[in-house]
Amino acid sequence: MNRVLIQSPAFVHAARRFVKKHPPAANAIREALRLMTENAFDPRLRTHKLKGNLADCWASSAGYDLRIVFEFAQQGGEEAILLLSIGTHDEVY
């Protein structure tokens, strides 16, 4: 099931900042986002539900210490993924 990715302004800002500091991560981010559109629960993403302040959110891995925080949403009657944040484990949690 292919899902549409919706990038929040905060995600776009964080992604630009992260890639500027870590240019090699751009390919890993692109690959993780591609996998998310096909299957958000692909084992390579290590997708997991979050707790606490982020209890309505999910996180996927885009590399050793790179996380993408997102929510499942609806857009035009179809399931979508709202990308909320990206960064290292400590930056996003």
pLDDT at 8 over 90: yes
Instruction: Burial-class residue 39 by CB neighbours within 10 Å (0-12, 13-18, 19+).
Output: middle
- β-partners of residue 7 are 83
Record the pTM. Answer: 0.94
pLDDT at 86 over 90: yes
Supply the pLDDT for residue 93: 85
Domain 4-86 fold: YaeB-like fold (3.30.2310)
What are the sequence ranges of the domains in the chain? 4-86
CA distances from 30 to 5, 36, 50, 74, 78 (A): 12, 10, 22, 22, 22
pLDDT tens, position by position, 10-49: 999 999 999 999 999 999 999 999 999 999 999 999 999 9
pLDDT at 68 over 90: yes
Distance of alpha carbon 76 from alpha carbon 52, whole angstroms: 30
